[in-house]
Amino acid sequence: MTASEIRELLRWATADVISFGGGMPDPSTFPIEDIAKIVAYVLEAYPHKALQYGSTEGVLELRQEIAKFSESFRGIRARPENIIVTVGSQEALELLGRVFIDPGDVVITENPTYLAALQAWRVYQPRLVGVPMDEHGMVVEILEERVKQLKAEGARIKFIYTIPTAQNPSGLTMSQDRRKYLLEVAERFDLMIVEDDPYSYFLFEPIEVSPIKALDKNDRVIYLSTASKIFAPGFRLGWVIAKEDVVKWFNLAKQSLNLNTSNFVQYIFAEGLRRNVVLKNLPHVRDLYKRKRDAMLAALETYMPPGVSWTRPSGGMFIWVTAPPHIDTKELLKTAVTQYKVAFVPGHGFFVDQSVRNAMRLNFTYPSFEQINEGIRRLAMAIKGA
Ligand SMILES: Cc1ncc(COP(=O)(O)O)c(CN)c1O
Ligand SMILES: O=C(O)/C=C/CC(=O)O
């Protein structure tokens, strides 16, 4: 077991430190009034169901609402039997490890990728294989070559993990052609794709892309999403859309983890979807995050010294920054926090072999506009002094 550099950062979060760490939503986006009304309604209308143990796969009413939401908003056709509700999509990542990974099995991911997925799976001792990205996302040509090599070695490839839209940590979005190519490679080599999709709700520029799951005609994609960025992360509510036998295995594995996801939050989120709270809130959230992204890009242009580069995310919550090669950002973090009062997530933990030491991930959704400008100014001073 290894620590999450993101979770560990929470230790540094003191009042005088500007943190670009955790991918936290701007608290102003939480639909507090709607949630307050819904809580009162749920406790009035069906308190005994909401406060009781529940089914491991999740409340039927919520799975029905998620199926409707996924089809109308994401173009993903699914029935409630194809859905299991999880304790955040982080639990879905754990279930993937618990159900699919035996020691030595190969898991293929983008490189860099979401470090808490790697953290969850390392417990099951996989062989992690990272595929590089370019501005169009995972370089699927390289993936195809790696798959051929791995198959020739007799490796057991359990799944390909991708965050195709506004990727964590890079902010990059996989093109539609690449999505089709990836699905074609998976079909040809009989592989499963895990599509982790917390961020497709926040695309700032019009990009013609669809979830890979919406293109999936042969149940080859296990799709993950979450209420964390569109409702509230404190609810710890995510979901998986997959073929029924995968849902059954996830159910089996989840029984011994936590019996069931909280009924209380499930009924609240079901009512939130029913009342269109999410879709009503999204345009405001998307506009706010676009403006915050632009504010951080402008501050980077203003303050960063030569030799520092960064991505221009198409959506999501993060900008990926590459410092000059002599800088180890894990070391830089200590100075940044203690001397310059600014924090970020060092980049090495996002790589399958922790090899890249001079990168960092910056969150722009949580800090205020003033903190974004001041924090980037401080960060630039820390980099110049390194
Ligand atoms: C790619 C990805 N997957 C999963 C998660 C976990 O989210 P949650 O457990 O809150 O649904 C996150 C959270 N930042 C994420 O970025
Ligand atoms: O910053 C992220 O990507 C994940 C955030 C969830 C967490 O707080 O660990």
Between the CA of 105 and the centroid of ligand 1 the distance, in Å, is 23
- The span from the CA of 181 to the CA of 219, in Å, is 16
CATH number at residue 356: 3.90.1150.10
Whether 85 and 172 map to the same domain: the answer is yes
Whether 209 and 294 map to the same domain: the answer is no
pLDDT computed for residue 80 by the predictor: 98
Residues of the chain with pLDDT under 70: 12-13
Which of 246, 275, 304 is the last residue before a domain boundary? 275
Q: Which atom of ligand 1 is nearest to the CA of 237?
A: 11
Contact 250, 224 (CB under 8 A): no
pLDDT computed for residue 5 by the predictor: 85
pLDDT computed for residue 209 by the predictor: 96
| Among 286, 296, 306, 287, CA closest to 342 | 296
| Phi and psi at residue 355, to the nearest 5° | -80, -30
| Among 321, 315, 319, CA closest to 333 | 321
**Residue 79 CB coordination number (10 Å):** 12
Report residues whose beta carbon is within 6 angstroms of any ligand 1 atom. Answer: 23, 88-90, 114, 163, 168, 196, 198, 226, 228, 233, 238
CA angle 251/256/260 to nearest 5° reads: 60
- The span from the CA of 366 to the CA of 205, in Å, is 20
pLDDT computed for residue 317 by the predictor: 97
- Stated pTM of the model: 0.97
Site to substitute for ligand 1 among 228, 258, 289, most atoms within 8 A of C-beta: 228
Residue 22 Cβ < 6 Å to ligand 2: yes
Whether 233 and 320 map to the same domain: the answer is no
Which of 275, 305, 320 is the last residue before a domain boundary? 275
CATH number at residue 244: 3.40.640.10
- The span from the CA of 156 to the CA of 154, in Å, is 7
- The span from the CA of 289 to the CA of 305, in Å, is 25
What domain range includes position 120? 48-275
pLDDT computed for residue 13 by the predictor: 67
